[in-house]
Chains A and B, each alone.
Chain A
Amino acid sequence: MLLARLASWISLRHFSGQFGRAAVSILGVALGVAVFVAIRLASGSAVTSFRESVSSLAGDANLQVSGRSQGLDERKIARLLAVPGVRRADPKIEAIATVSGKPGESVLVVGLDLFSDLRVQSALRAAARYGPADVLPMVTRRDAIAVSEPFAKRNGWKTGQTVWLSDAGRKLPFVIQMLLPEQGLLRAYGGDVAVMDIAAAQESFGQIGRVTGIDVVADEGRTFNRVRLEASRLFPGAEVARPASRGDQVESMIASFRLNLVALALVALFVGAFLIFNSVSLSVIQRRQEIGMARCIGVSRTQIALLFLGEALVCGVVGAFVGLGLGVGLSRLALGSVSATVSTMYAAVKTTQVFVDTPTLVWGLALGVVAALVSGLVPALEAASTRPGLAAREGSLIQGRRARLLWVSSGAVVSGLLAWRLALWSLEARDGLAGFASAGLVLVASSLAAPIVTVGLAWLARWPARKAGGIEGALAAGWIVQSLERTAVVIAALAAAVTMLIALNMMVGSFRRTVVVWMDQTIRADLFIEPASRLVTHVYSELPAGVVNTIRTMPGVRSWDTLRVNSVVIDGKQADLYAFDLRKMADNSRLLFLDGANTHQRVREALSRDEVLVSETFSNRFGKKRGDLLELATPTGMHRFRIAGVFYDYTTEAGLIVIHRPLYSRLWKDERVDTAAVYVKPGFTAESVRTELLRRIGGRYDIVVLPNRALKARALTIFDRTFAITNALKVVAVVIAVMGVITTMSTLILQRRRELGVMRAVGASRGQLARMAVMESGLIGIFGTVLGMACGPVLAMVLIQVINKLFFGWTIIPLLEAKWFFEAAVWVVAASLLAGLLPARFASRMQAAEAVRDES
């Protein structure tokens, strides 16, 4: 009760007079929370969409047999049905096709048994306006499809209309027979679904005699595992799992991606916390006399501390709630980018809506509040340490500055050393969270180093500031040190933002450069041919045999190779399987092995002993190295392969196994091709061969022929899109820090009323005071940038050598480019100078008489 009254007297009245500062602090927390919430919601929505899609398609099935690329033999379905405990086994064809004439539009075509499949029948029942006469053509016509109503509406389609879909390089005409409401299985793939009869689908999508999956309804209980084992035995090499586990698999695959984005988002909150720190400590300084008086009349230390913590809490709670709202809004903006990245890198998913989950909101709220309380703790304790009756003057509270400077600087050294030890330990123990703690400690060390660095830089800057800015410049540099308690905090915030800016630039830039070097070394073919649908769906699909035959007979082709992409599951984790002709690959291209071995030598070894090669990411993810054995499930049974070598690869973080094509075809009974690569004869140009190839293929197939440069450019476009969201994080961190400059400078101007009044009295013009404020703000920007520039590469090394290694397993060659530093310096210093304009206006408009009158 007493505390509430004190809060009302001391805090609330003061708070209402400082609305601007409180608003900036609240906004700082809000932006930090918003970024966190937006990233979690956007990435979580991609996973939820995938789960919903799987569950909509699965209906009441509790077991799914997925045929991967090679499909499943439909003749075995009867044997599966005969397994005790199996109540139903519904075969299906699933294909993601692109829509001709609608760039970027794709649709999931599902082929089901229209007579027996309950999911279709339920969908048909929901469309009550259709009678048996409408349904019949769905079975009798091979091109009849039923399309979800919203999808048809979006594309302007009507019943009876012929639409062209493209899959595996073929353009296929379909007639829209029915429009079905978006219910049940029609909700899969973001509602962009077309349903057709399974027999027609098999014919249309080149799966005669095969299905892509079987949805099984089996009795739960003791027989369930038996059904599972029998299904695995009947369909070797197929994935047999509960539908939910596919969602779990995608969730676990994107977990690292998500965690890293969320961790980066927390940096924005870290920067925002400085604003609260600044705001609360300023309250303490401004009310030092009130605190002293309150202590005189019996208010305890704890009550004083609680009062100021209460202020921090109010900022935190309000900021967190504002941030939650902002975050939900921002997540809609981030959804497209995150969803596209998940589709490209992990699993085909169409995310059209944000799923707002309570745990994310609770986390966002908790983080905002905790960040505010932690940042308010130090000033609150400082307030509590005020002795009763101390008549300190406003703004002159520099008690024991040297001792404090020493302590804080020692803290910086200790944090730095701890970050170093933790980084080494996390690599040894393969503990990713310790890696994040190490990165966090780098930021803490940078923040704690801010005061001593500020003192040092201000001393160094004094002479050049005086030369460049006259007496105003010298005063600006001096005032930064005089107000160290304030300026060091905003410099620390700026440094954290610049550290993040440079670290992200360095990590992404180094990664990009590494990928470019790797592509130049390994991607040597002149032309790449693949189905056009892959550009939209990012799913590998079969290249028509006609295209492969055309390539074989093309003049100007020195050599050609094919790639078949499949997947395998090892220890419950999925990895990619690439089938190449290793002989051709050794002749035409090269792999970069971790141990520096020659490509020819390693490939010869692999060929002679039927061994496989694995990527670095596979080696890290599955703990396998050269010489280890790998057991893989194939349609011809389990087979063991020795690993002949580990090579650098940046295609997929899931891990890659490369197998010789003839060996793959024999064991997987799969002759299909996804991509072809063409090496052009001397005397021919890639463009002339490409033109001829397209002429010969004509309009028969929907394929793309990409020159080497275009393929690499596409890879880099995907790379850039994956990291696009980090640009937003960088901007948010800098914006929050610059807000800190505005609020700190405005506060400093108010605190220096007297000094500024005196300056006016002894002859300083309004312009001189304004210049001084802008110079001080610019110097703050420069000091923050210098500190950030020193810490940025350190954080980048932790991101590259520790966090990336632990979570993704890539080898990134660290690079330093002057332009990253230059960009950071230009942006932050320019923003700081601009941020100084408003406070400069306050300074120049200050009434000298009032300022000097305020002497007591």
Chain B
Amino acid sequence: MSTCPFAFYYRRQIAAAKAKTGNTAARSCVEITSAMITTTNLCKRYDSEAGPVVALDSVNLHIPRGQFTAVMGPSGCGKSTLLNLLAGLDRPSSGEIDVNALRPGAMSEARLTEYRRRVVGVVFQFYNLLPTLTVGENIALPALLVGSPERQASARAESLAARVGLAHRLSHRPHQLSGGEMQRASIARALINNPSVLLADEPTGNLDSHAAAEVLSLLEELSEEMETTVVMVTHSREAAAIADAIVHMRDGRVEDVHVAGAAG
């Protein structure tokens, strides 16, 4: 019997890794840190009083492991919907999502919760730190939710806080922090369970240019350090400029994918 709390996920990961690399020694939970994301004919429709609204229409994407991908497009083009589906916050109407051989769209509620806990980390535009918790507690929260011992979760939160430059703010409440600091705390929170995918929804949308630059730089550094696949929704060209690839969306469809360094 496996002792790993998300055994089903890791069994698939190890099997996938074996299949791909032929490395029969790939057994440890921590060996798998990056992901490959594939969406196939992904559709999302909402029912409204005026009739069905198509938010995503046959989206086909392939995001290689460890890639920093920016998703751009006008408001209402389906960027956030795509992010929510990847985050397991919503379910597709049709089509498939494959994240490291996992299919969140077809998972039971309990498995989807585990998926959100272990596989993805989410950063929001408005930070969404819980006001009743200190910065340290906010960062540690996802680890505590998966049942990590408090001491272990706190130590990891302290280390991440130090990494994002908030070591001196651990016992502060969110309202005592600046916007940039809150977003850094939010990033630390998203990374505490070592997710293989980091999803960021307009992470700089509410920040001044200086704070935005800091946050982007941090996202870039951390994704490299932790070999995390990043998908970032943004309106900002400057923000998108740091990405390895930029996905342009319009009317629920992928209009164009631009890979940095690729011709054309």
Q: Residues of A with Cβ closer than 8 Å to B?
A: 470-471, 474-475, 478-479, 481-482, 754-755, 757-766, 768, 847-849, 852-853, 855
Contacts and interface: CB of A to CB of B under 8 A. Distances in A.
Interface in B53-88: 80, 84, 87
A478 B145 contact: no
B113 A852 contact: no
Contacts of B87: 761
Contacts of B142: 762-763
B87 to A, nearest CB: 6
B116 A763 contact: yes
A855 B133 contact: no
B131 interface: yes
A764 B128 contact: no
Contacts of B146: 763
A281 to B, nearest CB: 20
Nearest to B131: A482
Interface stretch (B118-126, B157-165, B225-233, B256-264): B118-126
B89 A852 contact: yes
Given A761-B89, A763-B116, A763-B193, A479 B125 contact: no
Given A766-B109, A768-B145, A853-B84, A761 B116 contact: yes
B117 interface: yes
A762 B189 contact: yes
Nearest to B87: A761
A765 B110 contact: yes
B145 A764 contact: yes
A852 B133 contact: no
Interface string B30-43: 00000000000000
Contacts of A474: 137
Given A754-B128, A849-B84, A762 B144 contact: no
B48 interface: no
Contacts of B193: 763
Contact of A482 (B84, B90, B132, B189): B132
Overall SS of chain A's interface:
helix
A853 B116 contact: no
Contact-size category for B: 20 to 34
B141 A471 contact: yes
A475 B132 contact: yes
B124 A755 contact: no
B130 A853 contact: no
Given A475-B132, A479-B132, A853-B80, 16 more contacts: A478-B132, A481-B132, A754-B128, A757-B89, A758-B128, A759-B130, A761-B124, A762-B121, A763-B116, A763-B142, A765-B110, A765-B113, A852-B84, A852-B124, A853-B84, A855-B126
Contacts of A757: 89
B130 A849 contact: no
Interface in B198-239: none
Nearest to B90: A849
A768 B109 CA distance: 13
A471 B146 CA distance: 10
B116 A852 contact: no
B148 to A, nearest CB: 10
Nearest to B153: A471
Contacts of B80: 853
Contact of A471 (B84, B126, B131, B145): B145
A481 B124 CA distance: 25
Given A475-B130, A479-B132, A760 B116 contact: yes
A474 B142 CA distance: 14
Q: Give 6 nearest A-B pairs by CB, closest first.
A: A478-B132, A763-B117, A849-B90, A471-B144, A849-B89, A758-B128
Interface in B87-139: 87, 89-90, 109-110, 113, 116-117, 121-122, 124-126, 128, 130-133, 137
A766 B124 contact: no
Most buried by B among A482, A754, A759, A765: A765
B113 A763 contact: yes
A274 to B, nearest CB: 24
B125 A762 contact: no
A482 B174 CA distance: 13
B142 to A, nearest CB: 4
15 contacts: A471-B144, A478-B130, A478-B132, A482-B132, A758-B130, A759-B130, A759-B145, A761-B124, A762-B122, A762-B141, A763-B145, A765-B110, A849-B84, A852-B128, A855-B124
A760 B124 CA distance: 13
Contacts of A758: 124, 128, 130
A845 to B, nearest CB: 10
Nearest to B145: A763
Contacts of B113: 760, 763-766
Given A763-B145, A852-B89, A755 B130 contact: yes
Most buried by B among A470, A475, A754: A475
Contacts of B137: 474
A847 B132 contact: no
B89 A855 contact: no
B132 A855 contact: no
A618 to B, nearest CB: 61
A470 B89 contact: no
A638 B132 CA distance: 80
A470 B124 contact: no
